[in-house]
């Protein structure tokens, strides 16, 4: 996907009070930095931030950190936060591959993965956010009772994700569905992302899984 270059994006993200700079220096100190012992939940590939901000507004007793690699995308979330600030939301502009350098073991309570890049070519499988490589990274930062929640509209990526978890000696599937919006249990309290609303309106089924150790 080609991203549009936005000239002011780098500077805005670098100077925003909502964006935490040099996150590797915060490892093991996130509760102190965020000013509470509340659980920390993260969304990887948060896009424009709709999902994360609505979740944070509904759960003020949880600290949310949105991770987005591209400043041109993160800019939109920053602009939303400037209009409606939330004390329990912060952003990181970084690569998810660096997670073990950013968070200490057990420092994160939940990980959300929503409509991430499917990397359809087989040679790029390890880049998928549900690959065994990334599952190992999540294992290094999640609390013992932590979990992963993953949503996608891509059936191939979902099948791959199920296989990666089912073949893992560490992870187990707690629940999954091939049609989230018609699943009365997993759809309860569901918050849609921008992509989810778009794909759902096109008639595409939404897939979801929940995994824990």
**How confident is the model over 146-151, as a mean pLDDT?**
98
Beta-bridge partner residues of 41: 64, 110
- pLDDT exceeds cutoff 80 at 37: yes
Contact 90/34 with Cβ under 8 angstroms? Answer: yes
Q: Is the pLDDT of residue 48 over 50?
A: yes
Average pLDDT over residues 164-190: 97
- pLDDT of amino acid 6: 85
CB of 210 closer than 8 Å to CB of 176: yes
Q: Give the pTM.
A: 0.95
| Closest alpha carbon to 73 in 92, 53, 89, 54 | 92
What is the tens place of the pLDDT at every residue in 60-101? Answer: 999 999 999 999 999 999 999 999 999 999 999 999 999 999
In the predicted model, what is the mean pLDDT of residues 46-70? 96
Does the annotation count 174 as an active-site position? Answer: no
For residue 28, the Cα-to-chain-centroid distance in whole angstroms is 20
Coil, strand or helix at 172: strand
Whole-number average pLDDT of the chain: 95
Q: Residue 5's pLDDT band (boundaries 50, 70, 90)?
A: confident
Tell me the β-bridge partners of 211: 148, 173
Kindly name the residue from 117, 145, 174, 179 that is annotated as catalytic: 117
Kindly list the domain boundaries of the chain, sorted by start residue: 9-212
Instruction: Could you please state the CATH topology (level 3) that the domain comprising 9-212 is classified under.
Output: Rossmann fold (3.40.50)
Q: Is the pLDDT of residue 1 over 50?
A: no
β-strand partners of 67 = 44, 92
């Amino acid at each position: 996907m080609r991203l549009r270059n936005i000239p002011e994006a780098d500077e805005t993200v670098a100077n925003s009070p909502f964006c935490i700079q040099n996150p590797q220096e915060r490892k093991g100190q996130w509760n102190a930095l965020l000013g509470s012992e509340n659980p920390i939940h993260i969304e990887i590939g948060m896009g424009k931030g709709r999902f994360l901000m609505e979740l944070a507004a509904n759960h003020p007793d949880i600290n949310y950190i949105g991770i987005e690699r591209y400043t041109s995308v993160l800019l939109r979330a920053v602009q939303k936060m400037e209009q409606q600030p939330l004390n329990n939301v912060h952003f990181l502009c970084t690569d998810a591959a660096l997670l073990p350098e950013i968070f200490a073991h057990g420092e994160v309570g939940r990980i959300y993965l929503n409509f991430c890049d499917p990397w359809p070519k087989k040679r790029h499988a390890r880049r998928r956010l549900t690959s065994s490589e990334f599952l190992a990274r999540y294992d290094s930062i999640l609390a013992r009772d932590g979990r992963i929640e993953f949503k996608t509209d891509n059936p191939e990526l979902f099948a791959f994700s199920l296989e990666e978890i089912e073949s893992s000696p560490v992870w187990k599937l707690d629940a999954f569905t091939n049609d989230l919006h018609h699943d009365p249990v997993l759809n309860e309290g569901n918050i849609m992302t921008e992509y989810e609303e778009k794909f759902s309106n096109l008639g595409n089924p939404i897939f979801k899984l929940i995994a824990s150790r």
